[in-house]
Every structure is written in C-alpha cells, then in structure tokens.
C-alpha cells in the first residue's frame, strides 16, 4: 500500500470548551478523491485547514507527505494546492497578475493548462479582481490552486458559487486529476450530487467527529432503507439492529439501517411475518438519515 499523502491521528481541537474536532483519525491515500460532507458548523473548514497546518490542534497529529503539518518543508508545501472557502485574492490586481504571483512560488507552473482552463471556464484574466463576480473569483481561485499540478489538492467549497456549466467543467477537471494515481484530492461541498459524481471516498463530519469514512460505494451498500409490510399491525417499539430511523404506520414501516447485511431482511421477515423490500439510497438521503 502506498504511503498516505495525509495521515491524521486522534486530531482534537477545542474552541470555547467545545470539541470542534473530536478524535479524528484518517488517511488520505494517493488516488483518493475524498468528498467531505457535513452540516454548517460541523467542522469541515476547521478539519481541512488543520490538516494543512493553519491551526494547531489541541491533541493528535497530522502528517502531510510524511512531514508534521506544523513544520512543512518547502518541498512539501510546493506539492499542496489549496482553495480556501473565502477567497483571498488581491482585489486591486487583475487575474493574470494574481496568477503570476502564485506561479512565482512554484518551480513548475503549467501555463498551457491555465490558458486552456481559462478559455474553457471563461475567466476574464485582464479585469481587476474586485470587479469580478463571486463565481469568477472562485474560478480564479481554483486556477491558482491547480497550476502547479499539486499532489494534494484541498478545496473548501470549490463549487459553491459556480454555475451548472462551470461546475460540470470543474468536475471534469477533478476526474482528470483522479486519473493520476499519484495525486489526492480532498474537497468539501454541500452540493451532494457533485460530490457523489466526483468522489470515490466520503468523509461525513458530524459534531466534530468523522461519522463515516470510506468508499462511497461501501457507504451506499452499508446504508439502506427497509420497507416492511406485515399482515398484522407492527409494534410501536419495533427495533431493528443498527437502525438510524424508524417510521411505523400500522402494518407498514420504513427503517433505515446502517451496516446492512442481507441476513437482517430474513430475520425481520420471520420476526414480523412480513415482506421486506430493500431500497438503496443516494448520498443525499444517506446524509439526511445520518443527521436525523
């Protein structure tokens, strides 16, 4: 197995006597495209920025390319691309000048890629940044994060302000990055359909904890909704193992379970003399069920 690009161990951060990040341990491997999902205030931005050493955790450690995130060498920093949630572009520059400043810090800057993406995404590089729309600024921020072909790309809400066309183009670029097995991408988004399309792994952050981490397909296989139809009224205290949510209406019930095993359907069928239909859920439904 390849060395992890990012290795997180027992990461804990407190703010005002509340754990913003709580005992998080995870690895980001080369080739991973990880979508980070969570409610507002769940700790996504804190997590992503702490991974890059912007914030010092109260407990635990983060290693990026094998180096302590709080003491990254120039070589390690050169392999990171980062797009913060709030853009930090210099308003009085134009886009070309902004990119020139970022390019100056990298030994290799793919001008051809930037030119191509600029044309495809229609980014007006000659206009002053403070006259650009929010979406145009966001595109510029993404370009600045991509130009040096980073091995670790961390994007905090990269598509929040993009139109559907730009979002699709951005996702295609992510696919292209994903084809390179050396690189890893970590991005947060509230647009679950995009995340579902682009990511091969998911981290679900809930109350500062990593509620789920793993392959997206595994998550979908793990969380299912069971439709139970019985001949007799179902008990009000119907309890299925690993149930996330249970809704009972007379002879029928809907139970969402995690860690799904087919044997459970047989058990429930015989227990309640019922027919069990298994419904696979999309990521958005799973997210909603996990937050009930």
Partner 1 sequence: MKAVLRIGWTFFTAMPLQRWLNGIGIVLCGMLAVLNLKVGEPTWSFVFLALFVPAGIVTLFASPAIFHGLSASRSNQLLPHFHIWMLAALAALMIAQLAMFALIFVAAESSRTPLLPALVHVFTFATVAFLLMFLALSGQRWAWWLWLMASAGFIASRVMPSMRIVLDAIPPWTWFGASLAAWTAFVLWYTRTRHIGQRRRYWQTANRSSPIDLDENVTRERALGLLLSSALLSTRWRKFWNIVVIVIVVVALLSQLTDPLAISIRGFWGTVTLYLPPVTSAFWVYCVTAGMQSATMTIVRNSRFLWLRIPGSREDVQRAIERAALRNFCTAALMLAGVAALYASPLAGASPRQVVTHFMIAACAGLCGAYAALSTFTVRQVDLIHFVSVLSLVMAQVVMFSLAQGSWRALAIVVVIQLGCVLLLRRLAIHRWRQIDWLYMRPPTQYAGLFQR
Residue 88 binds to partner 1 (criterion: CB under 8 A): yes
Q: Which is nearer to partner 1, 130 or 279 (CB)?
A: 130
What's the rounded Cα separation, in Å, for the pair 207 and 42? 5
User: Is 55 a residue that touches partner 1 (CB under 8 A)?
Assistant: yes
Pairing of strands 184-188, 33-38: parallel
> What are the C-alpha distances in Å from 242 to residues 161, 188, 210, 222, 234?
37, 27, 18, 11, 18
Contact flags string 91-130 toward partner 1, x per CB under 8 A: xxx--xx--xxxxxx------------------------x
Site string for partner 1, 59-78 (x = CB under 8 A): -----------xxxxxx-x-
Which residue stretch of 30-38, 89-97, 114-122, 185-193 sits at the interface with partner 1 (rule: CB under 8 A)? 89-97
Confirm if 4 and 28 have CB atoms less than 8 A apart.
yes
Annotate 69-108 with b (16+ C-beta within 10 A) or e (fewer). beebeeebbbbbbbbbbebebeeeebbeebbeebbeebee
- DSSP letter at 88 equals -
| φ and ψ at residue 137, rounded to 5 degrees | -65, -40
Give 73 or 180: the residue with its C-beta nearer to partner 1: 73
When the beta carbons of 160 and 288 are compared against partner 1, the nearer one is: 160
Closer to partner 1 by Cβ: residue 52 or 63: 52
List the interface residues with partner 1, window 216-235 (CB under 8 A). none
Closest CB 51 distance from partner 1, rounded Å: 12
Q: Which is nearer to partner 1, 34 or 114 (CB)?
A: 114
Residue pointed to by tokens 């980070």 = 36
Residues that bind partner 1 (CB under 8 A): 45-46, 49-50, 52-56, 70-75, 77, 80, 82, 86, 88, 90-93, 96-97, 100-105, 130
């Amino acid at each position: 197995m390849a060395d992890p690009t990012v290795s997180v161990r027992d990461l804990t951060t407190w703010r005002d006597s509340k754990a913003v990040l709580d005992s998080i341990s995870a690895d980001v491997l080369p080739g991973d495209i990880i979508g980070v999902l969570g409610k507002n205030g769940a700790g996504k931005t804190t997590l992503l920025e702490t991974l890059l050493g912007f914030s010092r955790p109260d407990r635990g450690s983060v290693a990026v390319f094998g180096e302590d995130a709080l003491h990254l060498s120039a070589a390690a920093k050169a392999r990171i691309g980062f797009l913060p949630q709030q853009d930090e572009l210099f308003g009085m520059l134009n886009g070309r000048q902004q990119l020139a400043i970022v390019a100056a810090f990298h030994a290799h800057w793919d001008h051809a890629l930037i030119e191509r993406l600029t044309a495809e995404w229609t980014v007006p590089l000659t206009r002053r940044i403070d006259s650009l729309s929010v979406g145009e600024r966001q595109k510029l921020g993404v370009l600045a994060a991509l130009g040096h072909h980073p091995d670790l790309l961390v994007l905090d809400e990269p598509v929040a302000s993009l139109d559907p066309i730009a979002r699709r183009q951005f996702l295609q670029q992510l696919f292209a990055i994903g084809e390179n097995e050396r690189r890893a991408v970590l991005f947060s988004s509230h647009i679950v359909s995009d995340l579902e399309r682009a990511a091969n792994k998911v981290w679900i952050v809930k109350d500062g904890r990593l509620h789920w981490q793993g392959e997206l397909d595994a998550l979908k296989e793990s969380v299912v909704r069971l439709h139970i139809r019985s001949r007799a009224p179902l008990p009000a205290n119907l309890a299925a193992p690993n149930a996330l949510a249970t809704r009972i209406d007379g002879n029928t019930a809907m139970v969402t379970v995690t860690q799904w095993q087919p044997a459970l359907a047989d058990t429930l069928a015989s227990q309640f003399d019922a027919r069990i239909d298994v419904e696979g859920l999309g990521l958005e439904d799973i997210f909603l069920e996990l937050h009930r």
